[in-house]
């Protein structure tokens, strides 16, 4: 029984810490290479602007997994984003290394050269296909039409 109480207490503490990361008035940093801010919490909401990796923002409010943020550098630039695109830890773009912004973003999510080399050593993965897939761009209207025609969920 003690073990169950300890585990429950730990879970509550972890949940509280995660919620506190994106709390109103808090300072956070963009962890995406390019972050599109939206006018509301929906995926298809109108784009209000973009922020780059490492940009400091102030959290104005939190609604579930969404946060309304304002750029610290440009107070007129604000909008909604998923909290997964933000970090309480300061991130720095363009440091003294020769890593690109996308490489830095991947490393921030736990993917690094050592892990990539481990995947490549398998020999069965085709990285050219991965690169082609990542390069594909689909505009929001085409995506919306695809979802409607396929009777798929429009998401949050």
**Neighbour count for residue 56 (Cβ, 10 Å):** 15
- Please count the structural domains in the chain: 1
Q: Is position 3 within any domain?
A: no
| CATH number (domain holding residue 61) | 2.30.30.40
Give the pLDDT score at 37. 96
Give the predicted TM-score (pTM) of the model: 0.59
Give the pLDDT score at 133. 85
Q: Is position 66 within any domain?
A: yes
Q: Is position 142 within any domain?
A: yes
Q: Is position 122 within any domain?
A: yes
Q: Is position 143 within any domain?
A: yes
Phi, psi (rounded to 5 degrees) for 71: -65, 135
Output the tens digit of pLDDT for each of the chain's 156 residues: 677 677 656 555 554 444 555 667 799 999 988 999 999 998 888 899 999 999 999 999 999 999 999 999 999 999 999 999 999 988 776 554 556 666 666 666 666 777 777 777 877 777 788 778 888 988 888 988 998 899 887 765
53 near 61, Cβ under 8 Å? no
Q: Is position 15 within any domain?
A: no
Question: CA 102 from chain center: how many Å?
Answer: 12
Give the pLDDT score at 96. 46
Q: Is 78 left (phi over 0), alpha (psi -120 to 50) or beta?
A: beta
The range of the structural domain enclosing residue 26 comes to 22-149
For the chain, strand residue ranges (E) read 27-30, 34-38, 47-52, 56-63, 66-71, 78-82, 86-87
Give the pLDDT score at 1. 67
Give the pLDDT score at 141. 86
């Amino acid at each position: 029984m003690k073990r169950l109480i300890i585990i429950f207490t730990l879970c509550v503490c972890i949940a509280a810490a995660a919620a506190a990361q994106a709390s109103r008035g808090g300072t956070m940093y963009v962890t995406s290479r390019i972050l599109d801010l939206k006018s509301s919490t929906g995926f298809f909401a109108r784009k209000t602007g973009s922020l780059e990796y490492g940009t400091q923002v102030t959290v104005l409010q939190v609604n579930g997994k969404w946060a309304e943020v304002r750029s610290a550098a440009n107070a007129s630039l604000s909008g909604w984003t998923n909290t997964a695109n933000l970090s309480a830890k300061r991130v720095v773009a363009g440091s003294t290394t020769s890593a690109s912004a996308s490489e830095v973003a991947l490393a921030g999510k736990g993917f690094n050269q050592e892990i990539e080399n481990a995947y490549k050593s398998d020999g069965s993965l085709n990285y050219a296909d991965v690169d082609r897939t990542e390069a594909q761009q689909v505009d929001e209207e085409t995506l919306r039409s695809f979802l409607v025609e396929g009777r798929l969920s429009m998401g949050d």
